[in-house]
Amino acid sequence: MAQALQWPPDVWSLLLQCRIHGKAQEVVAALPLSDTLKYDVVKAAILKAYELVPEAYRQKFRSFKKSPSQTYVEFAREKGSLFDRWRASNKVTNFDTLRELVLLEEFKNCLPERVVVHLNEQKVNSLSSAAVLADEYVLTHKSTFQSVLNRGVSIKSAVEPPKSTPQKNDKECFYCHKTGHLIANCLALKRKEQNTQSKPKGVGLIRNQSPTPRKAELCCTPDPCYEPFLLTGYVSLPGKLADPHPVRILRDTGASQSIMLTDSLPFSELSSCGYSVVLQGLEMGYVPRPVHLVQLQSELISGIFPIAVCSELPVKGISLLLGNDIAGGKVTPSLEILDVPCSRPKDDDATQTTVSTSCVLTRVQKFKGTSEENVDLSDSVLM
């Protein structure tokens, strides 16, 4: 602009000093008074202050990426400008110096980081001199490099994972019944349970019995107050229905998550659902427990369900707490009408009930004579 307006060159420096600020102003203030009046000297000093080392220009050129707000034309122009700055900082003016620049960069990419730092400190600008300096550095630090290499080999052997046998792709998932994956990697099951993982599952049992060792707990019976909610069922891992295990089940209407003892089944990664649930008890504490898929057969409900696994339960003699997540609103099995009366088996250690099973009383039986042992049940049906 000064040349276009034909300003005198001796005033260029004064006009420039009125517009500069920050670091450039500090550089001009450090110059002698005679040099501040020379535009070429002031310009060279300011550009020198803002100049980066060649390595900085190289990193800017290599790491520069297109931003979403840029067009490809703007990106190409900025990329070329960064390359010119890198080239100019290395004083590359012809094909031979450009060749040395590219080969030197590629050579450094193949060297250890410590050697590259040494070459950058020496400010080498040719491939041959860089190779000589690299050999000298390695020979000087031979013992250090040997220990580093040995340590690297030991670390590699330690972290190298063991070779695993390839799995067949024809295995069937026990949940979605699709081939190609196991139940632990079933996406359908994970999507189903993703909304319930973050919420703690409540367990609403109150136990008024003192804790006893685990061995005594296995041979004891539940408290009689739980009798109306006790069930007998069979559990097994999915795919192993031929070997079910009998369990004592307690229907817990205050629990939102079903829980089973760890030693009830041989749980493994194949039965794992791949996540845990957080259980909250009456003490208001939170305890995470793993979830496994279990095949359940009982009078109340049957099927494959995700059940949390714990090492102990608050009720003695119980192997499975059946929560609302599986049983829903079911509490006791549905009653059935039988054609032939049957009696309940007597329990040695349980209180006997005075109610027995009976079939429907027909009208023919109503008109028959009744003895002292027979009761007139014409107005009611007992099941």
| Residue 274 binned pLDDT confidence (cut-offs 50, 70, 90) | confident
Top pLDDT among 251 and 379 is at: 251
Give per-residue pLDDT as tens, 179-198. 878 877 888 877 777 655 55
Asked if residues 236 and 359 have their Cβ atoms less than 8 Å apart, the reply is no
| Residue 144 binned pLDDT confidence (cut-offs 50, 70, 90) | low
Please state, in angstroms and rounded to a whole number, the distance separating the CA atoms of residues 357 and 336: 10
User: 175: closest CA among 125, 237, 120, 92?
Assistant: 237
Asked if residues 293 and 175 have their Cβ atoms less than 8 Å apart, the reply is yes
Does the structure show a pLDDT above 50 at 354?
Answer: no
Given this model, what pLDDT does residue 276 score? 83
Given this model, what pLDDT does residue 205 score? 54
* Coil, strand or helix at 245: strand
- Domain-wise residue ranges, the chain: 9-50, 183-327, 337-383
Given this model, what pLDDT does residue 184 score? 78
Top pLDDT among 374 and 108 is at: 108
Q: What is the pTM of this model?
A: 0.35
Given this model, what pLDDT does residue 196 score? 55
Across 16-25, 61-70, 318-327, 361-370, which has the greatest mean pLDDT? 61-70
How many other CB atoms are found less than 10 A from the CB of residue 258?
Answer: 24
Summarize the confidence of residues 296-316 as an average pLDDT.
85
Does the structure show a pLDDT above 60 at 377?
Answer: no
Does the structure show a pLDDT above 60 at 139?
Answer: yes
Percent of the chain with pLDDT over 90: 4
Top pLDDT among 145 and 192 is at: 192
Please state, in angstroms and rounded to a whole number, the distance separating the CA atoms of residues 301 and 309: 19
Helix 39-50 / helix 23-30 crossing angle, nearest 10 deg: 130
Please state, in angstroms and rounded to a whole number, the distance separating the CA atoms of residues 209 and 220: 12
Give per-residue pLDDT as tens, 46-102. 888 877 778 888 888 888 999 999 899 999 999 999 899 888 888 888 998 889 888
Longest dimension (CA), the chain: 141
| Residue 217 binned pLDDT confidence (cut-offs 50, 70, 90) | very low
Instruction: With residue 261 as reference, give the H or E element that holds it.
Output: strand 259-261
Does the structure show a pLDDT above 80 at 364?
Answer: no
DSSP secondary structure string, 163-216? P-PPPPTTPBPTTT--BSS-GGG-HHHHHHHTTTSSSPEE------S----HHH
Given this model, what pLDDT does residue 382 score? 46
Summarize the confidence of residues 121-129 as an average pLDDT.
86
| Residue 208 binned pLDDT confidence (cut-offs 50, 70, 90) | very low
Please state, in angstroms and rounded to a whole number, the distance separating the CA atoms of residues 21 and 278: 61
Top pLDDT among 127 and 194 is at: 127
Please state, in angstroms and rounded to a whole number, the distance separating the CA atoms of residues 278 and 197: 8
Please state, in angstroms and rounded to a whole number, the distance separating the CA atoms of residues 300 and 291: 21
How many other CB atoms are found less than 10 A from the CB of residue 33?
Answer: 6
Top pLDDT among 249 and 212 is at: 249
Given this model, what pLDDT does residue 352 score? 45
Helix 95-109 / helix 127-140 crossing angle, nearest 10 deg: 30
Does the structure show a pLDDT above 80 at 359?
Answer: no
Residue 34 tokens read as 């005679």
- Write down the mean pLDDT value for the chain: 76
Q: Which CATH number fits domain 183-327: 3.30.70.240, 3.40.50.2300, 2.60.120.380, 2.40.70.10?
A: 2.40.70.10
Please state, in angstroms and rounded to a whole number, the distance separating the CA atoms of residues 26 and 21: 8
DSSP secondary structure string, 274-289? EEEEEEE-TT--EEEE
Across 128-142, 280-294, 333-347, which has the greatest mean pLDDT? 128-142
Q: Are β-strands 245-251 and 230-236 bridged in parallel, bridged antiparallel, or unpaired?
A: antiparallel
Given this model, what pLDDT does residue 353 score? 44
How far, rounded to the nearest angstrom, does the alpha carbon of residue 181 sit from its chain's CA centroid?
Answer: 19
Given this model, what pLDDT does residue 358 score? 46
Please state, in angstroms and rounded to a whole number, the distance separating the CA atoms of residues 208 and 115: 73
Please state, in angstroms and rounded to a whole number, the distance separating the CA atoms of residues 9 and 41: 13
Please state, in angstroms and rounded to a whole number, the distance separating the CA atoms of residues 328 and 300: 10
Please state, in angstroms and rounded to a whole number, the distance separating the CA atoms of residues 36 and 43: 10
Give per-residue pLDDT as tens, 13-59. 888 888 888 888 888 888 888 888 889 899 888 888 877 778 888 88
DSSP secondary structure string, 18-74? TT--THHHHHHHHS-HHHHT-HHHHHHHHHHHHPPPHHHHHHHHHH----TTS-HHH
* Coil, strand or helix at 273: strand
DSSP secondary structure string, 95-123? HHHHHHHHHHHHHHHTS-HHHHHHHHHHT
